[in-house]
Homo-oligomer: A and B are copies of this chain.
């Protein structure tokens, strides 16, 4: 006996009891042979058809296709999937290019869409003329060409890089209506390949008095930051490749310092100089932008680690829901401390929570994609995600974070307002028509 689609939908819906309020389903609901979903989506998204045998030719299959190029480019239908630019004319101030997380999927960021912050544009570096100098408290100062580095043993690793100022709009007193790209677009994740910095420092010979390195970029402002030697000897890398090919101009071509999990600005792009020192350099950026002021007037001297964080990318503002029914809620979680251990998702503004599935393998200090199935009944809902890392740190609520760090009545600017290291929960409100809004909940 053949079941009708509506029979099957009814049967299968019984297999899909919600595990948390407002329709959140068990993260393994679709792993039960896939059958749990069968039929349930029919009414919303599928068009029955018995005409498969007589499938008509599409217009594009009746003409020769586009000649395959030597370097592939995206379909012309994807031209709107771009970074948003804060300074598109390249005026003499900082340029920000933000990653469109709501238009991507998977666990990392393609090179064309990796976020960029550049204080004077992207320097046009000739790789054959670029040099990396290691000096200061070393037994022998050294100069490396790109060819010299290419002979050293290399490692590859996935790692996110996040600007300390990512998500700063969430310090505002009122929620700013903007997309996940505008709010959280200053973080991306890539596979980086290069030479462990420890190998090069050993080569130069570390003077026992050295406790810090001061690292300088080859861009016009020579952006410089201080890094404890312990981090330099742990998992730091002079990265030469990004997602398999040479590093992009905006991400540090031909070489950058990678400090997995640490504040983006410390991952010095276009790196040209590493000086070993007894103390930190008190450089311009670290003494100004990256010393966050606290409500009582004190300030963090340094704030290295990008702490555990998550946000939902699908759905999110700009991706309206198209009628009630099944959706997958998915997003990104990461921690500068290590691996993500757990992500919980709420559809009722934090009253109840369902555990999300984590895309395997979960990697150290890299994006982890989380997913949870959801049956939207068409009514109001508030979506949130909250992550925990393997060290036991939990992502704070917004109330917890602003109690400790303050908030501001205006969009946070450079300093004097809380503007750095927002890692608390983000809330999306689903309106009756399916529109998604940024709210505090």
Residues of chain A whose beta carbon lies under 8 Å from any beta carbon of chain B: 2-3, 5, 8, 30, 33-35, 37-39, 41-42, 44-53, 55, 58, 60-78, 81-85, 87-90, 92, 95, 97, 103-114, 116, 118, 120-127, 129-130, 133-136, 139-145, 147-148, 151-156, 191-193, 196, 198-199, 201-203, 205, 218-220, 222, 240-241, 243-246, 248-251, 253-254, 272-273, 275, 322, 325-328, 330, 359, 361, 363, 369, 371, 373
Q: Are B151 and A41 in contact (CB under 8 A)?
A: yes
CB-CB nearest in chain B for A65: B121
Q: Are B153 and A45 in contact (CB under 8 A)?
A: no
- Contacting residues, chain B, for A147 (C-beta < 8 A): 45, 322
A105-B156, A112-B245 given. 8 additional CB < 8 A pairs? Answer: A3-B139, A37-B203, A46-B143, A52-B136, A68-B116, A74-B248, A77-B126, A105-B244
Q: Are A49 and B85 in contact (CB under 8 A)?
A: no
How many chain copies does the complex carry? Answer: 2
Nearest CB in chain B: distance from A358 CB, A: 11
A58–B111 CA distance with the chains assembled, in angstroms: 26
Q: Are B125 and A75 in contact (CB under 8 A)?
A: yes
Q: Are B72 and A113 in contact (CB under 8 A)?
A: yes
A307–B192 CA distance with the chains assembled, in angstroms: 28
Given contacts A81-B245, A328-B154, A361-B361, contact A112 B71 (CB under 8 A): yes
Q: Are A90 and B61 in contact (CB under 8 A)?
A: no
Nearest CB in chain B: distance from A77 CB, A: 6
CB-CB nearest in chain B for A194: B105
- Contacting residues, chain B, for A51 (C-beta < 8 A): 141
Q: Are B114 and A275 in contact (CB under 8 A)?
A: no
Q: What are 5 A-B pairs at a CB distance below 8 A?
A: A49-B141, A66-B122, A105-B241, A106-B191, A152-B326
Nearest CB in chain B: distance from A266 CB, A: 19
- Contacting residues, chain B, for A248 (C-beta < 8 A): 72-75
Q: Are A45 and B244 in contact (CB under 8 A)?
A: no
CB-CB nearest in chain B for A149: B45
A5–B171 CA distance with the chains assembled, in angstroms: 53
Nearest CB in chain B: distance from A250 CB, A: 5
Q: Are B105 and A154 in contact (CB under 8 A)?
A: yes
Q: Give the residue of B84, B139, B151 whose beta carbon is less than 8 angstroms from that of A327.
A: B151
Q: Are B55 and A133 in contact (CB under 8 A)?
A: yes
Q: Are A64 and B45 in contact (CB under 8 A)?
A: no
Q: Are B328 and A106 in contact (CB under 8 A)?
A: no
Q: Are A71 and B113 in contact (CB under 8 A)?
A: yes
Q: Are B156 and A65 in contact (CB under 8 A)?
A: no
- Contacting residues, chain B, for A143 (C-beta < 8 A): 46-49
Q: Give the residue of B75, B111, B116 whose beta carbon is less than 8 angstroms from that of A249.
A: B75
